[in-house]
Structure 1
Amino acid sequence: MEKILIIDDDLEIISLLKDIFSDEGYVVYTANNSEKALELINKAPNIILLDVMMPGKDGFELCKEIRSIVTCPIIFITAKVEENDIINGLAIGGDDYITKPFSIREIRARVKAHLRRDKRDVEKENNFLLFKNLKIDLCTREVFYFEKEVSLTKREFDIIELLALNKGQVFSKERIYDKIWGYGAEGDCSTVAEHVKKLRAKFHCINDNFNYILTVWGVGYKWNTKEEGNH
């Protein structure tokens, strides 16, 4: 049974959303502040609905704090609709935005769509990630594309692994750099773009249709959850 964590300081919205998703058969956890939300993270939710404008620690700050702990989709629910707010929310690990006031039908559809996307396209069997024409062996750290092995450096494989294990989630260059190179590493996040460029080139040598690593302009990169796409 899938679990939803709803975080909002508006008790009426919490009550409304809890009723909606409980009726749909989900297990629903609720928190009206960041401290309570942090206590509920160990429930391993399948998706998080997160209000941005909360007293104390806001939704953006909370997202940054929990994103290294959870890999599930995070949907921001907010009245903040400026482009910079949306870009900031995606850059720190959010997956989607729903603006207030929201439609019940829309929020139901968005949640279902993210949960479907989180399940499909990748089949994890033993230590393999299997995509169309792409196989990633997490144990031996080998990658095969159209049944041909792709020789990757340690950092290149780390980038592939991070994105593929968190399909559809947008990662900023800064976040990729911190996760793979480590906090306090010498250098800067511009090296991430160079590694992605080299990665794509290696796959394109085998087949030009490699579209799994997508650029999210102004934000960073994500793993394409469709079999085909633009890069």
Structure 2
Amino acid sequence: MRILVVEDDNRVAEALVGALRRNGYDVQRAANAAQALNAPPVDLVLLDLGLPDRDGIEVCRELRATGGVPVIAVTARGGEPDRVRGLRSGADDYVVKPFGTAELLARIEAVLRRSMNHPTHRDRPLALDGLEIDLAQRTVTLDGQPVPLTRKEYDILAVLARAGGAAVARDQILVEVWQTTYDGMSRTLDVHLATLRGKLGRTGSLVRTVRGFGYRLTIPDPTPPPPATGP
């Protein structure tokens, strides 16, 4: 995935670019609005709203109007009016400085996932011990019967299902489901997970806790074991 970092502060830009590259992203940097608007196509833009040559809100609108690229606004302006203005300008998310690398990476992953407007292999129905999760249709059934999940419960299960059995950090679930990493929401996540497991009945044990990190969905390896070789 290609990311454009639009940041005029060299020290901040270097830290961002380094962190993103260490996490496997192909990163370009623009120091002002002119460079950002003339940059080659990318998959996502991290846009500082305090640019030296133009208002970042205007740049966000122009980026969305010309190419529809997902934009995460990165700024020190954290007041509610600023957030509303940024989101209404077309930003897909709004991150306030200072922020943690883990939070930013989780938000990037969430925005990139939402920006995929076509089905992928991760959106195919997933069948596990009578439990079927259809991500394209947003339905969950157990032994052919609908499971009455709330929106948040479904969203948690979908995040885990799309991870394909890999562990998902608690912070990433909070970002994708509640758009926050606020510590006060951690208990809310625990309550929703307990209720989700209960509604999944015997298959609730498929949602496993990864101690000190997060959660994962137990998905059997589809690759059959090699045939046994006799003497």
TM-score normalized with structure 2 length: 0.51
2:71 corresponds to which residue? 74
Aligned Cα RMSD in Å?
2.5
1:97 corresponds to which residue? 94
Greater C-alpha Rg: 2
* Alpha-carbon shift at residue 73 of structure 1 (Å): 1.6
Letter in 2 for 1:4: I
Secondary structure of the residue aligned to 2:14 is helix
1:53 aligns with 2:15: no
Contact 1:122–1:131 under 8 Å retained in 2: no
Report sequence identity in percent: 36
Give the whole-Å Cα distance in 1 for the aligned partners of 2:56 and 2:78: 14
* Alpha-carbon shift at residue 85 of structure 1 (Å): 1.1
Letter in 2 for 1:60: I
Write out per-residue CA displacement over residues 119-149 of structure 1, whole angstroms, 9 at most, x where no aligned residue: 3x7328xxxxx9529xxxxxxxxxxxxxxxx
Give the whole-Å Cα distance in 2 for the aligned partners of 1:74 and 1:53: 15
**Aligned positions of 1:98-113 closer than 5 A:** 98-113=95-110
TM-score normalized with structure 1 length: 0.51
Letter in 1 for 2:96: T
Give the whole-Å Cα distance in 2 for the aligned partners of 1:103 and 1:35: 28
Q: Could you tell me which runs of 5 or more consecutive residues in structure 1 were left unpaired when the two chains were aligned.
A: 125-129, 134-231
Letter in 1 for 2:20: F
**Aligned positions of 1:1-231 closer than 5 A:** 2-40=1-39, 43-119=40-116, 122-123=118-119, 131-132=136-137
* Alpha-carbon shift at residue 115 of structure 1 (Å): 1.4
Contact 1:51–1:78 under 8 Å retained in 2: yes
How many corresponding residue pairs?
Answer: 127
Give the whole-Å Cα distance in 2 for the aligned partners of 1:63 and 1:82: 18
Give the whole-Å Cα distance in 2 for the aligned partners of 1:116 and 1:94: 15
Secondary structure of the residue aligned to 1:85 is helix
Contact 1:86–1:97 under 8 Å retained in 2: yes
Letter in 2 for 1:6: V
Q: Could you tell me which runs of 5 or more consecutive residues in structure 2 were left unpaired when the two chains were aligned.
A: 121-134, 139-231
Letter in 2 for 1:54: L
Contact 1:7–1:37 under 8 Å retained in 2: yes
Q: Which has the higher contact order (CA 8 A, sep 6+)?
A: 1
Give the whole-Å Cα distance in 1 for the aligned partners of 2:84 and 2:67: 20
Give the whole-Å Cα distance in 2 for the aligned partners of 1:86 and 1:25: 29
Give the whole-Å Cα distance in 2 for the aligned partners of 1:78 and 1:69: 22
Give the whole-Å Cα distance in 1 for the aligned partners of 2:83 and 2:67: 20
Give the whole-Å Cα distance in 2 for the aligned partners of 1:112 and 1:68: 22
Contact 2:63–2:69 under 8 Å retained in 1: no
The ranges of structure 1 where at least 4 consecutive aligned residues each deviate by more than 4 angstroms after the TM superposition are: none
